[in-house]
């Protein structure tokens, strides 16, 4: 394909980036909810005896957020074997062909819709 061969190379990376989990300090941690009318603690409860009333928020199951931090190995270029490069090129060609086929299907569908209008 001409388009694949004429693609300019990507610029060399200036540094690698590593994602590490961090806590989101912008979200305030709240205790049990209180009713502003009487100041008493509110909870999810039921009249059924076998249902436990929930009065505390569980902070242990909150999702962890990611923060980017530069890696120490910034000057080390990634090395790929020829077989890895060939596999990557094959995967890219397959993706390109799939995208082109999807584009053709969308064009055909648009033409059918336009013909109905």
Instruction: Indicate the pTM of the whole model.
Output: 0.33
Judged against a pLDDT cut of 90, whether residue 101 lies above it is answered with yes
Domain ranges in the chain are 16-76, 79-117
Q: Mean pLDDT throughout 52-80?
A: 59
Judged by average pLDDT, the poorest of 4-18, 31-45, 47-61, 79-93 is 47-61
Judged against a pLDDT cut of 90, whether residue 34 lies above it is answered with no
Q: Mean pLDDT throughout 2-19?
A: 61
Q: pLDDT > 70: what percent of the chain? A: 35
| C-alpha–C-alpha distance, residues 17 and 70, integer Å | 5
The mean predicted confidence, pLDDT, of the chain is: 69
Contact (CB, 8 A) for 64 and 22: yes
Judged against a pLDDT cut of 50, whether residue 103 lies above it is answered with yes
Q: Which residue pairs from 28-31 have beta carbons closer than 8 angstroms and sit at least 24 positions apart in sequence? A: 29/57, 29/59, 30/57, 31/56, 31/57
Characterize 29-67 residue by residue with b for buried, 16 or more Cβ atoms within 10 angstroms of its Cβ, and e for exposed. eeeeeeeeeeeeeeeeeeeeeeeeeeeeeeeeeeeeeee
- In the numeric block, which tokens belong to residue 27? 């979200």
């Amino acid at each position: 394909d001409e388009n694949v061969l004429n693609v300019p190379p990507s610029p060399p990376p200036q540094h690698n980036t590593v994602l590490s989990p961090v806590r989101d300090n912008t979200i305030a941690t709240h205790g049990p909810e209180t009713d502003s009318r009487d100041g008493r603690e509110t909870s999810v409860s039921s009249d059924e005896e076998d249902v436990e009333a929930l009065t505390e928020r569980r902070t242990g199951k909150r999702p962890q957020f990611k923060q980017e931090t530069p890696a120490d190995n910034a000057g080390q270029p990634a090395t790929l074997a020829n077989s890895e490069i060939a596999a990557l090129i094959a995967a890219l060609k397959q993706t390109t062909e799939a995208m082109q086929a999807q584009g053709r299907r969308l064009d055909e569908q648009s033409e059918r819709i336009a013909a109905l209008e």
